Amino acid sequence: MVVVTQEKTSNRAVVRARGRALGWVSLGLGAAQVFAPGAVRRLSGVDDSDTSRVVVPLVGARELVHAAGLLGSKRTGAWVWTRVVGDAIDLTGLAVAMGNRGGGRRRRVAVALGAVAMIAAADLATALRARKPLPR
């Protein structure tokens, strides 16, 4: 019984710590996308279309909501799952953008896609750990 309680506490502590780290990542990404969307579009290889001028700040706002949830809530698991869903949306959008780019812009989109994929892996690992069944 004591071992199970220690495992449960340890797992919660790990999930909470990872969730806080992901919250800080969301805060940084969200702030950049909301306050410097042009720079984010250029760095990521996304064009300067009417659509991207709307989408990038909206994605940033979503990231800021994730940050608030992860840094201010005790429901880390639920908030990490919202990041996983956001990652799927972002990966889809970047994959489409990469298919429509060439040269240096395509390489920048590929780098952004790789970075988002790594963050998505961390989000998914944390979300799965948050719902990990504990031994009885």
- Report pLDDT digits (tens) over 60-119: 999 999 999 999 998 898 999 999 999 999 999 999 988 888 888 899 999 999 999 999
Q: Which residue has the higher pLDDT, 5 or 14?
A: 14
**3-10 — which CB contacts under 8 Å span 24+ positions?**
4/134, 4/135, 4/136, 7/134, 7/135, 8/134
For 20-60, write each residue's pLDDT tens digit: 999 999 999 999 999 999 999 999 998 888 988 999 999 99
Which is nearest to 38 in space by CA: 59, 52, 27, 58?
Answer: 52
What is residue 133's predicted lDDT score, i.e. its pLDDT?
Answer: 61
User: Which pLDDT value is given to residue 81?
Assistant: 95
Q: Given this model, what pLDDT does residue 64 score?
A: 98
